[in-house]
Amino acid sequence: MKILVIEDDRATADYLIKGLKEAGHVVDHADNGRDGLFLAASEPYDALVVDRMLPGRDGLSLLEVLRATGNDTPALVLSALGSVDDRVKGLRAGADDYLTKPFAFAELLARLEVMQRRTKGAGSGGPVTKLQIADLEMDLLARTVKRAGKPVDLLPREFQLLEYLLRNAGNVVTRTMLLENVWDYHFDPQTNVIDVHIARLRQKIDKDHAVPLIHTVRGAGYSLREPV
């Protein structure tokens, strides 16, 4: 991916650039809103990482201008302001995702990749009715799941959880992403309730099968992927 990082804090920018490069992406950097807007408008990028508080032009107005000119490059806003209404303002300004500082790099990476996949997949034909990976099949219309041809009985929430994992198969999804997208909760419970839900899902999907599909990614979250 070709990613533009617009971040004025030197240390955070260095860390983002280093981390993203290490993950195999091409990174450009602007340290103020004006230059950032110029670069974002003049070059094609796969994703933007925009700090909310920037010198020159703040991140949200930068996005508003960009969206007003018809540029819809997926953008993730980074901010030290984390309350629910700050988040809502960010999404209204045209951000595709919103991440509160400080964040784990794995979280940022996972979100960028999911965001990228979502915008790419958006244009391809009609609505998806079936999701599949290896021998795991999900029928979105009949609301049924089969593993190796055998039906798997899932509770509604487990179904949603598996659907999110399937839609982002091959990518890492973090616990926060699951809480936000499956439960629509924008706060972090003190205990890791998500792990228990995943453990239950694993029981139903991977137990009795030689090849596991749900993988734990250390320090990041979970990934549903095909056996290599």
Q: Give the footprint of another protein on this chain (CB under 8 A).
A: 9, 11-12, 15-16, 18-19, 22, 53, 80-85, 100-105, 157, 183, 185-191, 193, 196-197, 199-200, 219
Q: How far is the CB of 170 from another protein (least distance, A)?
A: 22
Check residue 138 and give left, alpha or beta (phi > 0: left; psi -120 to 50: alpha).
Answer: beta
Q: How far is the CB of 73 from another protein (least distance, A)?
A: 24
Residues 6+ away with beta carbon under 8 Å from 169: 131, 133, 224, 225, 226
Q: How far is the CB of 88 from another protein (least distance, A)?
A: 8
Instruction: Sort strands 136-139 and 130-133 into parallel, antiparallel or unpaired.
Output: antiparallel
Q: For another protein, give the closer residue by CB, 189 or 227.
A: 189
Structure tokens belonging to residue 165: 């994992």
| Contact indicator for 67, 94 with CB cutoff of 8 Å | yes
Query: CB neighbours (10 Å) of residue 128?
Result: 12
Q: For another protein, give the closer residue by CB, 22 or 43.
A: 22
Q: For another protein, give the closer residue by CB, 135 or 206.
A: 206
Q: For another protein, give the closer residue by CB, 84 or 122.
A: 84
Q: How far is the CB of 87 from another protein (least distance, A)?
A: 9
Q: For another protein, give the closer residue by CB, 139 or 195.
A: 195
Q: How far is the CB of 3 from another protein (least distance, A)?
A: 16
Helix residue spans in the chain (DSSP H): 10-22, 33-42, 59-68, 84-92, 105-122, 156-167, 175-178, 193-205
Q: How far is the CB of 187 from another protein (least distance, A)?
A: 5
Q: Please name every residue paired with 152 in a beta bridge, in sequence order, or none if there are none.
A: 145
Structure tokens belonging to residue 160: 């949603």
| Contact indicator for 73, 52 with CB cutoff of 8 Å | no
